[in-house]
Amino acid sequence: MVPAAQNSDSHQADGPLSSNPLIRKLSNFVPLSVSDRQILDDLAQPEEQFAIDVDIAAEGAVPRSVFLLKEGIAMRYRDLPDGGRQIMTFLIPGDLCDMHVFLLKEMDHSIGTITPVRVAPISRESIMGLFGTHPRISAALWWSSLQEEAMLRERIVSLGRRDARGRVAYLLCELLWRHAAVGLTFGDVFKLPLTQTELGDTLGLTPVHVNRVLKGFREQGLISISQKMLSLLNVDRLQSIAGFNSSYLHLGGASAEIVRYFNALEGRSAKP
């Protein structure tokens, strides 16, 4: 069983999981104070909506802000000269569409929607203002960026060394763990409105090959798919097929030493 999002620490606010997916995600790394949560809720208030199959940010465009995905699924991708497409990663609620994108003169990839989405645009000034004044949020955002880099490294390993069954199993397991980390699973079941073409464009496989692998997994009792809900019926077996180790997602939280460091920082700042 994949663990649900963490929500227990003396420093965290009590009560149910936050409705803000960014808070749910960052809380996997470090416990957030009531003040931290209010700051993140304020950042998520402005909202924009995008329809299915449109670009939130296009390759070559000047980035105007960081986007927090609040609802739906999006993707980072590159169009290729031969008409093909490579999807680098899927974005789910709680993900930031490139936290440091405002440092670029232009986008070097596109961010497109797979489903209708709701996003919160966050300005450069708001992001920069967090650093130095809110150490827990700053560290959690760094952790989020490091997790994204780790996911891309794992994608390279998958494309270079896993066979088709391993690639598909790896991606399904990763998506399960990521959805669980933000409270979007029901046991080992989560919403997966992805087409076989989109899976193929991510894993370097044809839609026919993806279909063959998924059919085999269903016949072996490893997965079931109904009304865009994916059930992983044997997570251990799928992780074995993929050689999957979730440690690269760094969901274990900050070390006790780091938490003590934050507590000490906040204690000093609270003194008159």
* Sequential DSSP letters for 136-188: HHHHHHHHHHHHHHHHHHHHHHHHHH--HHHHHHHHHHHHHHHHHHTT--BTT
Whether residue 146 is contained in a domain is answered as: yes
Domain presence at residue 14: no
Q: Position of tokens 């000269």?
A: 81
Strand, helix or coil for residue 205: coil
pTM of the predicted model as reported, rounded to 2 decimal places: 0.90
In a domain, 5, yes or no: no
> In this structure, what token pair is assigned to residue 120?
């919160």
Distance CA 88, CA 77 (A): 5
| First and final C-alpha spacing in the chain | 47
In a domain, 13, yes or no: no
Q: Number of folded domains in the chain? A: 1
Indicate if the alpha-carbon torsion angle 192, 195, 199, 205 is positive or negative.
positive
Distance CA 129, CA 66 (A): 14
The answer to whether position 206 is within a domain reads: yes
State how far the Cα of 265 lies from the Cα of 29, in Å rounded to an integer. 17
Q: Residue 267: its pLDDT value, please?
A: 67
Whether 150 is covered by a domain: the verdict is yes
pLDDT of residue 259: 81
Domain around 57: 21-270
In the sheet that holds 223-226, the strands lie side by side as 189-191, 229-232, 223-226
Cα(51)–Cα(106) distance, integer angstroms: 23
Residue keyed to tokens 């066979």: 163
The CATH number assigned to the domain holding 200 equals: 2.60.120.10
Cα radius of gyration (the chain)? 19
Q: What pLDDT score was predicted for residue 14?
A: 40
pLDDT at 225: 96
2 belongs to a structural domain? no
User: Which residues have CB under 8 Å from 109's CB, separation 6+?
Assistant: 59, 76, 77, 78, 88
**Residues found in the chain:** 272
Residue 103, pLDDT score = 72
Q: In what order do the strands lie in the sheet with 66-71?
A: 48-50, 117-122, 66-71, 96-97
The tens-digit pLDDT sequence of the chain (272 residues) is: 565 544 333 334 444 568 999 999 999 998 888 999 999 999 999 899 999 999 999 999 888 788 999 999 999 999 999 999 999 999 999 999 877 766 777 888 999 999 999 999 998 888 888 877 888 898 899 899 999 999 999 999 999 999 999 999 999 999 999 999 999 999 999 999 999 999 999 999 999 999 999 999 999 999 999 999 999 999 999 999 999 999 999 999 988 888 888 778 766 555 55
Task: Write down the pLDDT at residue 270.
Answer: 54
Instruction: Compute how many other C-beta atoms are within 10 angstroms of the C-beta atom of residue 164.
Output: 17
Look at residue 139 and tell me if it is in a domain: yes
What tokens does 173 get?
Answer: 């397991």
- Whether the Cβ atoms of residue 192 and residue 229 lie closer than 8 Å to each other: yes
Torsion of the alpha carbons at 238, 94, 201 and 142, rounded to the nearest 10: -90
Query: What is the identity of the amino acid at 190?
Result: F
